Amino acid sequence: MPDTRTAASTRSEADMYAALHGRTYQETSAEHIELSLDSDILDALRATGKDWEIHFNAILREWLRSNAPVVMA
């Protein structure tokens, strides 16, 4: 299902999430990519709510902080 939110509403949601987690949203830091996920993973992410993409980004960031050889900011 395509995302029908506007860039402004997405940015606003990202600002709220970032403020709650002590980060600032930088529009230029986001890059749109194509990514294939197993359907059960995607279903679980979408079940976290309308901001699932923001949550997914936070999950990946936390995993990288704990597991990646490169230190995340």
**Per-residue pLDDT, 44:** 95
* pTM of the predicted structure, to 2 decimals: 0.52
Dig out the tokens for 12 from the structure.
């606003």
Contacts of 48 (CB under 8 A, 6+ apart): 55
- Which residues of the chain register pLDDT less than 50? 1-8, 27-28
